[in-house]
Structure 1
Amino acid sequence: MTIVQVRATAMEENTGEMVNRPEYGGSIPVDNVQALASKDLKDIPIRYIRPEIESEEVLTDQSLQIPVIDISKLTVAGQPGYSDELAKLHVACKNWGFFQLINHGISESIDAMKKVTREFFKLPLEEKMKCAQIPNNIEGYGQAFVLSEDQKLDWGDMLFLLPLPIPQRNLRFWPQNPTSFRTTLDEYSTALHGVSMKLFKLISINLGIKPETISNIYEKCTQGIRMNYYPPCYEADKVLGLAPHSDATGITLLVQVNEVEGLQIKNNSKWVPIKPVPGSIIVNIGDVMEIMSNGEYTSIEHRAMVNFEKERISIAGFHSPGIEAMIGPLKELVKEKTPNYKTITSEDYVRLIVNSKLDGKSLIDHMKI
């Protein structure tokens, strides 16, 4: 059965529950990379080959790592270590755009989500394709941001779902196999949103505005959870699991499902491999947070590399303002300053995201005045 036949069959068998969510566009269907990697390939298809990788410098100095933030020291203002850790968070957001969060209190939810994610990607292709993307929709199983037939492709597959806001959940894309997937994702979504709200309050404090300023904007946030599967590749030094980009959202919380590393961030025009701290959540500032902070914090380009022999699996949680919000610099931060970015509706911003391919910081460049 071909990929196209599998997709058509899956759509017939799983029409599911439709919701009143606007259509913003989608991605062109492409071959499943996990299935492609399982074949005895003599040559990697040319659409996956990235010649530019050879000329880009990757730092091998393991001492250069993103900051580690202990959020347990930031629960009560004035407690021992609070001021130092808050200052450390500010430096992480301002100078790095990335940090690792420890003692976050949601390890149980993370472990459960890792388990069902592993189980999902182990399923036969026909079973996974029951959750396949459909035209003009960003959710489902497949690839994202494929906008043309000649575009370079990433060496990876993903399952992308929108758990929040709850009334707009589209269960048509939520796997029923494994059987615990839906309840696990529901609990994970809530736990992850709780951590993000704590971070928004701390970020507001560091920006010199009321603690609830940013968290109020994200109270009814749009949350996307993307489960990433990067198969091994015998020419891993010539392909990318995920092309260089900055996240278009407000803040991203990423967990590593297995021990295979692959995340790299751009620092001073060089790529820095990230070594995850066991049990941590890797957090990064997105484009919306750069815009809202009027450039005080900046989103950082990053990419996902592929391993020669082992699969890599990760789960990214994206948090954006609700669809009724405006995307622009916070008025509290531009009272006596000139705004550096445009202000547009969330709906227009989402359309801009969906109809753009991953290309460095091109989206933020579009928003600059």
Structure 2
Amino acid sequence: MVLLSKATTEQYSYIKNYMPTAFSSTIPIVDLSKPDAKTLIVKACEEFGFFKVINHGVPIEAISQLESEAFKFFSMPLNEKEKAGPPKPFGYGSKKIGHNGDVGWVEYLLLNTNQEHNFSFYGKNAEKFRCLLNSYMSSVRKMACEILELMAEGLKIQQKNVFSKLLMDKQSDSVFRVNHYPACPELAVNGQNLIGFGEHTDPQIISLLRSNNTSGLQIFLRDGNWISVPPDHKSFFINVGDSLQVMTNGRFRSVRHRVLANGFKSRLSMIYFGGPPLSEKIAPLPSLMKGKESLYKEFTWFEYKNSTYGSRLADNRLGHFERIVA
């Protein structure tokens, strides 16, 4: 993405009356190598819908190599990047997020994790990019399944793979996204707060995110405040998604989050969105109900995805599927 003029940046979205937030030290940290990981995961999902994991098992070298290749891609001329195809929904996109008017100071590459990709646009390094990407996605999916199984144990669900089996299914509708937020020097001068990616929740079961050491990510707390997440390029951040909120009957809450553009440094994030098969029925798990009424109507993942196409980023997309409990 090229640096844009003032006239062009005015086409983007800003946060009005924004009060700067300090980096928060309250974000839960889970060491996946420790025996208390399952307890801490459940607590974090209940209180924040978000946590950081360390000792995650994904080789730092694999992370660094893929990040390097991603930066090379985004530094290519626009006409070369556009050969990756318009995002329908997969491919290269810039500025526009979705189909309903949301925009952000971002360019991205969105990929389906269950198909081979044609990276011929990447030239002589296409095969290297493909191998690094496949290896990374495999490692991150393995971590996602480990976290979901620890989660099931922490919830005392007898079927340990009740969540993870949905990601391991050959028909799993998981996606991988690489976001690039170029530095915007105009912000550093004017002290404005340009939206890189507007506030939203993730619709899938679980999201695993990592980024370089550039700030910008913020999460929304239940007390009504936004907090900034300290960047940590060696760790992963985990988001509870809408589908997991439904499956736990609201015990876990999908976390609302956003990204602000940085005036000095570019930010690159890589996110694995673990989704179920399209035909999978999403509903509260009977083992977690214990006589409670369901807060949600049953729906398939396909139905939920279809419903999101008509929404804006900040909408409560679960609203269509909530039951009114007397």
Q: TM-score, normalised by structure 2?
A: 0.89
2:79 is the counterpart of 1:126: yes
Hey, what's the Cα distance between the residues in 2 that align with 1:174 and 1:359? 36
Structure 2 gap segments, 5+ residues each: none
Supply the distance in 2 between the matched residues of 1:264 and 1:365 (Cα, whole angstroms): 23
Shift of the alpha carbon at 1:105? Answer: 1.0
**Of 289, 301, 305, which residue of structure 2 is paired with 1:346?**
301
Identify which range, 349-358 or 287-296, moves more after superposition.
349-358
Q: What is residue 157 of structure 2 aligned with on the other side?
A: 209
Q: Does 1:197 align with 2:148?
A: no
SS in 2 for 1:184: helix
| C-alpha distance in 1 between matches for 2:244 and 2:151 | 10
Residue 325 (structure 1) aligned with residue 274 (structure 2): no
Match of 2:167 in 1: 218
1:1-369 to structure 2, matched below 5 A, reads 34-35=1-2, 37=3, 39=4, 41-50=5-14, 53-60=15-22, 62-73=23-34, 82=35, 84-107=36-59, 108-133=61-86, 137-143=88-94, 145-148=97-100, 151-164=101-114, 169=115, 171-172=117-118, 176-177=122-123, 178-179=125-126, 180-210=128-158, 211-220=160-169, 221-233=172-184, 234-235=186-187, 237-256=192-211, 258-267=212-221, 268-334=223-289, 336-360=291-315, 362-369=316-323
1:127-185: CA deviations, max 9, x gaps?
11110225xx210000454424xx35211111000112xxxx16247853443111111
Residues 335-364 of structure 1: CA distance to partner in whole angstroms, max 9, x if unpaired? 52211112111211121233322115x112
> Is there any run of 5+ residues in structure 1 with no aligned partner, and where?
1-33, 74-81
Read off the aligned partner of 1:72 and give its amino acid letter. Answer: S
Quick one: which amino acid aligns to residue 171 of structure 1?
Answer: H
* Contact 2:213 2:232 (8 Å CA) reproduced: no
Give runs of ≥4 in structure 1 deviating > 6 Å. none
Give the match's secondary structure for 1:161. strand
The residue that corresponds to 1:79 in the other structure is: none
Deviation of 1:222 after TM superposition, in Å, equals 1.9
Letter matched to residue 248 of structure 2:
S
Distance 1:349 1:170, change over 3 A: farther
Number of residue pairs the alignment of both structures matches: 311
RMSD: 2.0
> Which residue does the alignment assign to 1:76?
none
Give the match's secondary structure for 2:53.
strand
Amino acid at match of 2:314: D
Kept after mapping to 1: 8 A contact 2:24/2:229: no
Partner Cα distance (1:252, 1:175) in 2: 28
Contact 1:161 1:173 in 2 (8 A): no
Write the distance in 2 (CA, Å) between the matches of 1:294 and 1:315: 29
Cα 1:363–1:187 shift into 2, 3 Å: same
Cα deviation code 1:176-218 (max 9, x no counterpart): 3443111111111111110011011111112221212222233
Equivalent position SS for 2:210: strand
Instruction: Tell me if the contact between 1:145 and 1:355 (Cα under 8 Å) persists in the aligned partners.
Output: no
Distance change in 2, residues 1:333/1:65 (3 Å): same
Task: Report how far residue 303 of structure 1 moved.
Answer: 0.3
Measured at CA, do residues 238 and 58 of structure 1 come closer, stay the same or move farther in structure 2, by a change above 3 Å? closer
Letter in 2 for 1:94: E
